[in-house]
Amino acid sequence: MPDLINILVLGDIVGRAGRRALAEHLPRLIDQHHVDFTVANGENLAAGFGTTRNTAEEMFRLGVDVLTNGNHCWDQRDFLRQIEQDERLIRPMNFSSRAPGRGWTVRETAAGHRIAVINLIGQVFMGPWACPFEAAERALAEIPDDVQAILVDMHAEATSEKMGMSWFLDGKVSFVYGTHTHVPTCDEVIHASGTAYQSDIGMTGSYQSIIGMKVESALARMVDKLPRRFEAVERGATIFATLVSIEPETRQCKAIERICIRP
């Protein structure tokens, strides 16, 4: 079998706890699994709300190659400028065409393999975004033919919508995976076409929390329905990630494995 491209996918990295866990474990994970390329969702990097230049650079120094985003994309105002300047940062393709940044990118591994990453956001329970299916078609039409793997981060609430995207792109991309819910799913699969799928990678953050936020404020808001400022838990993160191995000649996924590192 020809050499495979090993790609590590991280879901939502939540605040300082998630960043600390990756600082401790990510370089070793990359070495241990001979990872060629790493992609992560960065919409919760800055205390749970958006991405900043410093938090993004911290992830890049640790070995992350591309940061995708989601509904918290614009929580940090300086990110509007940063995303225009750095092709390692992308936002959902089906955001307004007037929004800064881009919905897909292509980056090269150290071995010269070209990896495309597409970012989409769901419509169900999420917001009045444009159709993610049409956006996915546009992205595939724009991506160069010489890429050797195509990854799709479907940032969405509803598992059915995520699964629908996986079948819509079946045989056209290497891996469709979900982010946003902060809860890992154990439904990883490789379809007969060679396209892999997982409903949600899960967060890298504290699970002694409510999806990464301190219980006191999040629970109080649920109970009394009054406004509360959410605070991200700062320590004790679990890392959830998924490792896929892609055959560069066909772009097909040949292996998929969930990874969990607890504090």
Q: Sheet holding 104-108: strands in order across?
A: 104-108, 114-121, 149-155, 175-179, 196-198, 189-190
- Which residue, 68, 27, 26, is CA-closest to 51? 68
Cβ count within 10 A of residue 191: 15
Instruction: Give the per-residue pLDDT at 2.
Output: 60
Q: Where are the alpha helices (DSSP H) in the chain?
A: 15-32, 53-62, 79-85, 132-142, 159-168, 215-224
Using one digit for the tens of pLDDT, what is the confidence trace for 54-72?
999 999 999 999 999 999 9
- Which residue, 3, 1, 9, 2, is CA-closest to 174? 9
Instruction: Give the per-residue pLDDT at 231.
Output: 87
Distance (Å, rounded) from C-alpha 95 to C-alpha 121? 8
Return the sign of the alpha-carbon dihedral for residues 17, 21, 22, 24.
Answer: positive
User: Which residues are catalytic, by number?
Assistant: 72
- For domain 5-261, the question of CATH label 1.10.3980.10 is answered with no
Question: Which H or E element spans position 237?
Answer: strand 237-247
User: What is the domain partition of the chain in residue ranges?
Assistant: 5-261
Q: Which residues of the chain have pLDDT under 50?
A: 1
The residue type at 246: I
Partners of 244 in the β-ladder: 7, 256
Instruction: Give the per-residue pLDDT at 1.
Output: 46
Distance (Å, rounded) from C-alpha 25 to C-alpha 13? 13
The residue behind tokens 């546009």 is 138
Distance (Å, rounded) from C-alpha 53 to C-alpha 119? 19
- Maximum pairwise Cα distance, the chain: 59
Using one digit for the tens of pLDDT, what is the confidence trace for 116-165?
999 999 999 998 999 999 999 999 999 999 999 999 999 999 999 999 99
Residue 204 corresponds to which tokens in the numbers above? 């890298």
What number of CA atoms fall less than 13 Å from residue 111's CA on the CB side? Answer: 13
